[in-house]
Structure 1
């Protein structure tokens, strides 16, 4: 665990506690995901993480997290987002299943500089507790759970896919925009209502080039607003996030291609990959939910 994260101290709590520790870990490019169980009641003290931001979600059990002067009781509905410049410690009950995302500090700082188009005068510090059931944080938490499900599927090739890198980028941008931090007021920028034409401009770009590697920041730059403003405008005018809209456009293009294709000249996997989906079962599930049949059925028609 020290090799994946950092040197830290672990103490067993209570005489009856015994370690029965398991860790499953995958790394993409700037993010590592680890699923951890300790077995017994433990106290874990990493101190300052320095080089990375740990995002910690409890899937089963309970735990208490302290970062700097803040403390929260974490549950599956409350995610802990720690800052690398503040001391971190946690206490986990026996049987707790913990997932930790290690987001590299230089990568997250570079993402924020791109969103703001300016240098960062001070280190990023997040509010520790994230409510995973409301507002923008709920949408981000849902994407984070998708990340976790990929980890649990133990498909090692997925971590090298285009889909994984896109989800990693979304994870970093979304965390900065959704979770309150000491740059939130700068990210918010102009809080006046954003006109429909801004959303229309972003939609037009996604419709014209759905195959491009769009990000929230690139779409916002093209529309002439801040990333936070674009995300809020999409929520107000379309009731979905920009990235969700992009996924729907790509799904429609895949549907059109499957309708026009011949089964002996292409495969569902090739079509899915062409439109940004490397995970075939998830693509098939989303396709079925929208069109009422699986993509293989469409291709055979």
Structure 2
């Protein structure tokens, strides 16, 4: 890629032990673990700058590395492949990324990435609060269950002005004459661009506010009824089944059936993680939320959260 993201001014590690770089990433960029099958001759490099509440990072591990994490918790990652290739496993699918391609990782998305030996990435860490503040400032309808990016794969060249903005942010982060006010301005502009240019569940018009109200009504109905038919939800929204499917594909990014299943999985996870929730067994909890086939339930849970239900429960203990 020809766009310059961070220079040698920001170099923290050069030809370093991969685990030292990984420990630094854990501290500043996001919790993860790495697996390298052959450490011989492997040397990693990392550049890093903070810009207000954002973190900008350029990283290469110098060898074939598998990077994994259950979830990023309260941060989002914008990751841009600069060199080499990267295999991204998400929701049971595999996608091989090439230079110039961009992915968005939501806070509850499990991370499973395998870097090629020559892989180099630019990573931007965006705290949840930064996006929340933009929604408040712009008076955009904040989703009831949090901000989530629906489309998570892009070609950077197809996103108008984003590469140039990121390059300007990197240049400002390396400037000797920085001010916090300017840093915050860049942060606000980027967050607003992120929510405007990338497809998310943040709804930004009066018409969209009506969609938000409809989704909140549907959420309440799903939570209160284990046996939910699509026809019932369409009646609740006051539209035909065909229009209902169209609304979901356009504004939520998934089919109604997948949305219902995901919402029930979310409720199961909340209960497993909450020490105040009395659980007799995972099997009984799954049945309570309408999952009759335990094998498919466990696979769906792992695809959504990056771990098995038993692992969530063990972590609570």
TM-score bracket, shorter-length normalisation = 0.5 to 0.7
In structure 2, do the counterparts of structure 1 residues 173 and 71 end up closer, same or farther at CA, with 3 Å as the change threshold?
A: farther
Alpha-carbon offset, residue 4 of structure 1: 0.7
Residue 145 (structure 2) pairs with residue 128 (structure 1): no
State the partner residue of 1:144: 166
State the partner residue of 2:71: 48
RMSD across aligned C-alpha pairs, in angstroms?
Answer: 2.5
Pairing of 1:1-301 with structure 2 (within 5 A): 1-13=25-37, 15=38, 18-68=41-91, 71-126=94-149, 127-134=151-158, 137-150=159-172, 154-155=174-175, 157-158=177-178, 160-183=179-202, 186-187=203-204, 189=206
In structure 2, do the counterparts of structure 1 residues 41 and 49 end up closer, same or farther at CA, with 3 Å as the change threshold?
A: same
In structure 2, do the counterparts of structure 1 residues 49 and 178 end up closer, same or farther at CA, with 3 Å as the change threshold?
A: same
Q: 1:83–1:125: 8 Å Cα contact kept in structure 2? A: yes
Q: 1:17–1:40: 8 Å Cα contact kept in structure 2? A: no
In structure 2, do the counterparts of structure 1 residues 111 and 18 end up closer, same or farther at CA, with 3 Å as the change threshold?
A: farther
In structure 2, do the counterparts of structure 1 residues 60 and 189 end up closer, same or farther at CA, with 3 Å as the change threshold?
A: farther
Q: 1:68–1:88: 8 Å Cα contact kept in structure 2? A: no
Which structure carries more relative contact order (alpha carbon 8 Å, separation 6+)? 2
Query: Alpha-carbon deviations, 1:146-181, whole Å to 9, x = none?
Result: 334555xx44554x4544332221110000010011
Which segments of structure 1 move beyond 4 Å, counting only runs of 4 or more?
Answer: 67-71, 188-191
Q: 2:77–2:125: 8 Å Cα contact kept in structure 1? A: yes
CA distance in 2: counterparts of 1:124 and 1:67, whole angstroms: 19
In structure 2, do the counterparts of structure 1 residues 51 and 157 end up closer, same or farther at CA, with 3 Å as the change threshold?
A: farther
Q: 1:113–1:120: 8 Å Cα contact kept in structure 2? A: no
Q: Aligned with 1:145: secondary structure? A: helix
Unaligned runs of 5+ in 2: 1-24, 209-317
CA distance in 1: counterparts of 2:128 and 2:165, whole angstroms: 20
CA distance in 1: counterparts of 2:47 and 2:176, whole angstroms: 11
Alpha-carbon offset, residue 79 of structure 1: 0.7
